[in-house]
Amino acid sequence: ISKIIEYLNLREQLQLWQATDSTSRLGGVVSYCWQRQNSHTVFRNTFEGIPAVLEDFLRCICSSVTVLTLNYLPMEQLELWKNHVFPNLRELYYMGDENGDEDDDSDIAILVKCFPQLESIGLSGNSSGQHISQWRNLRRLDMQLCWYLSTQCFEEICQNPRLQMLNIQWRRSEEDAYVQAILKLLDLEELEVDIVNLSQENTRQLMSLPKLRKLRLHHFDHLDDLLLDICRLRGHDVMAATFNDNIWMRPLDVLAKLYNLRSLTIIDDEGCIDIDFSALINCFPRLEQLHLDNSLIWSNADGIWSVVGSCPKLKLFAMSNMDLNEEFFAFSASTMNRVLDSREDPLVMHFYKTGSQISERFRHRSLKLSYGAKNYTYSQVPEDCMELELRPMES
């Protein structure tokens, strides 16, 4: 019975719960399934009009849930949550009720009381940032969609020495205060910012964070100037880069300053069709890995062998999420053989969701083919964003 109930979605399980005596064997099985599942998602209408069922549900999950997503819950529902404590919850995604009072953070106060051991939270809505600093175990904080965040509350949040990942946005007038607050996060490893400007001095200070290893930037008008500043300061430390639909916009003389780059991922970027891709790749003489995700840059595979031929250190070439049709495989086999014959080490080519003709067309003793989902086939970099991975300054 439990396997059947686990197959049902939460709404169907709630209907079954309401139609069953909670003390019955079937009610016990539903309760057991809720307790056994460590991740739950609750929407505004999930428990609308059934507060007693919400109380039952919360009693069942409070001791076992570790990951929770709450979407636009009204205060009358959240008030019921504060009767419970969730000691094992570590990860929370909270979309606040944007129709509520933007000056009232009472919903955040409830969350702090319910989830005292929280380590990761993604917030959106009308929060000004009050109460968040009370979560002393926070490691990961995403407040990019909190449009009413106050500078004072952000400064209090940055008193938490354990914070390792931060995603934030700020207005131009707040830049200096926000940067000074971030500089207190000496354990910060990942920083994502959605901004319209960053001065050279503030860039210098942020790039001096001792443990910073990942920087994600959303596109804005002066991104090339910021990237140039980063390259001047830490270009030699950038080991990997991911571009989602924007690498074709970056000047080659700026990209060339990433001369130590070992891994490059390009996502949803067919704009590369209109540029000299070989010239772009030549910016990275030490490149070891190239991953193209939904970015079919060439009409046929001759383009692959041109890249491989110009990257003597390339170890892995990966393609994912694109349909490689018959036209793509109308390439010169002699070119492929010549390029692969000249290599000292074998080349690994990895394919995921690209079609079924690969093994028939790509054959060579120095070529190793692999398939399936890998870590690099699932990028978390959003559209119009750029992500740089650096060697931490402490190492």
Q: Residue 123, exposed/middle/buried by CB under 10 A (0-12, 13-18, 19+)?
A: buried
Report residue 394's pLDDT band, with 50, 70 and 90 as the boundaries.
Answer: low
Instruction: Read off the pLDDT of each residue in 17-40 and give the average, rounded to a whole number.
Output: 87
DSSP 140: E
Contact 303, 280 (CB under 8 A): no
Please, which residues bridge with residue 33 across strands?
A: none
Instruction: Read off the pLDDT of each residue in 77-96 and give the average, rounded to a whole number.
Output: 96
- Average pLDDT across the chain, whole number: 92
Name the residue with higher pLDDT: 7 or 114: 114
Pick left, alpha or beta for residue 271 (phi over 0 → left; psi -120 to 50 → alpha; otherwise beta).
alpha
Alpha helices, DSSP H only, in the chain? 2-7, 10-18, 25-36, 51-61, 75-81, 106-114, 151-157, 175-182, 200-206, 223-234, 252-255, 277-281, 302-310, 333-341, 358-361
pLDDT of residue 271: 67
Report residue 204's pLDDT band, with 50, 70 and 90 as the boundaries.
Answer: very high
Of 342, 326, 330, which is closest to residue 303 (Cα–Cα)? 330
- The percent of residues in the chain predicted with pLDDT above 90, rounded, is 75
The pair phi, psi for residue 172, each rounded to 5°, is -55, -40
pLDDT of residue 102: 46
Cα–Cα distance for residue pair 164/148, rounded to 1 Å? 23
Q: Taking 80 as the threshold, does the pLDDT of residue 23 lie above it?
A: no
Instruction: Read off the pLDDT of each residue in 285-297 and give the average, rounded to a whole number.
Output: 94
**C-alpha triplet 388, 393, 394: angle, nearest 5°:** 135
Q: Taking 90 as the threshold, does the pLDDT of residue 22 lie above it?
A: no
Report residue 148's pLDDT band, with 50, 70 and 90 as the boundaries.
Answer: very high
pTM listed for this prediction: 0.92
- Return the SS3 of 387: strand
Query: How large is the greatest C-alpha to C-alpha distance in the chain, in angstroms?
Result: 74
Please, which residues bridge with residue 367 across strands?
A: 347
Give the pair of three-digit tokens for residue 184.
């207190």
